[in-house]
Amino acid sequence: MNVDKAKKRIAKQVGKGFKGYPLVTIEYFGEKPELATKVVVQFILEEGAEPQSQTFSSKLGVCNDESIQTVILKIIERGNVSSVTEIAGVSRLLQD
């Protein structure tokens, strides 16, 4: 799938707002605000449930990585997700 198409479909889901559970939360991380090198996708089945997390990374940037964006979209679609939230911007990546 084209990266722009995947990003638009994800943005459309985010734009719908909170519609209940299951919920997917997407947060981008990076050392610089203009380059996200890591994304964490959390899936929460129901209120109070423990989140299931999946992490993806790319040195060239996860926002424009076609395979990563497509996988995020597939998580949303296959999880029959009601709500998708995205943390705005790029959070600071803490070094271990």
Mean pLDDT, all residues of the chain? 93
pLDDT tens string 30-51: 998 899 999 999 999 999 999 9
CB 12 within 8 A of CB 75: no
**Beta carbons within 8 Å of 16's beta carbon, 6+ residues apart:** 83, 84
Q: How far apart are CA 1 and CA 41, in angstroms?
A: 19
pLDDT of residue 86: 96
Return the pLDDT at 93: 82
- For the chain, domains (ranges, CATH) are 3-90 (3.30.420)
Contact 72, 14 (CB under 8 A): no
Please tell me the predicted confidence (pLDDT) of residue 91.
94
Q: Is the pLDDT of residue 96 over 60?
A: no
- pTM comes to 0.90
